Amino acid sequence: MAQWLAEHGHVVTVLDNLSTGHRDAVRWGDLIEADLLDPAALERAFHGRSFDTVMHFCARSLVGESVVEPYAYYANNVTGTLNLLEAMRRHEVNKLVFSSTAAVFGTPVSDVIDEDHPKAPINPYGASKLMAERFLEDAAHAYGLRSVTLRYFNAAGALPDHGIGEAHACETHLIPNVLRAALDHGPSLKIFGNDYDTADGTCVRDYVHVQDLARAHALALGFMDSHEGAHTFNLGNGHGFSVHEVIATAASVSGVAIPYEVAPRRAGDPARLVASSAKARELLGWDPRWTELAPIIESAWRWHRDQPGWSPHHIHADARTQAA
């Protein structure tokens, strides 16, 4: 997002506590190292600077971890967001783009999920994000805050020409784990369940390229200029791809056979999670450009392949992860 904004003439300031981020990734704009749980640090970040809009990306976001460490998730994702909103109000910054998640929906009751789908999160991560969404609705009524909430489905891909890719110490996303397995030739991936009611028996997910996500955020800026209140949009490319399809496509892109083993289903894994982005298309004018699986995976493959530290001795793919 910072790369897109800088490329289009915006002045960018990044605030990050670097707990999971990387200092050398902040190549577009200034960096303020601070934590949303430190109100004094937030006050210093806003003081003496003029901001038009805040884009709030940071969160704890590992579903499994949220179950065993719920207090940390509510502190970071709920209290941290509230601290940010209070600082914005004190400094009269009246527009916010908020990163939310498909996890707010819980177990889906329909194959294609629109914004009106019931919200019943089944883990603290999803619950914490839904609470933050409620903050924005209340702030719109009470303080006139303008906001756009964007619910990502499966963010994927990379911008290798800009050196941007998924660099997580603990990787939970399917595509990078498949590509790590292709590079590592180590323990095989596990597919959790191959008896779902899908075309090939494996779970189906909606993968949306990070560049399309950045464009949606950019469109949200213009939308808030002409729309008051709190608005929410689902972001996916509208097409589902199975775990088998991801592995087969990654093998074709990389030219490497990717071994895997089939394990029993995991509790809580729905057969299919696909977004309806009709509202974003209609009201934001958002039209995802990365709609095929192979180019999405190819962009990630080029980035992963070119990382000098990612050798067979350094890559440890979390083979337990099927999809995020």
Catalytic annotation, residues: 125
- What does residue 263 show for φ and ψ, rounded to 5 degrees? -120, 170
Distance between the two ends of the chain, CA-based, in angstroms?
21
CA distance 296 to 159: 10
Neighbour count for residue 114 (Cβ, 10 Å)? 12
The token duo for 91 is: 């400094």
DSSP state of 283: I
CA distance 250 to 237: 19
- How do the residues of the chain divide into helix, strand and coil, expressed in percent and rounded to 5? 40, 20, 40
Sign of torsion, CA 243 244 248 251? positive
Q: In 3D, which of 247, 266, 267 has the Cα closest to residue 256? A: 247
CA distance 37 to 74: 11
Bridge partners, 179 (sequence order): none
Can you list the positions of beta strands (E) in 188-321? Answer: 189-192, 204-209, 230-235, 240-242, 260-263, 272-275
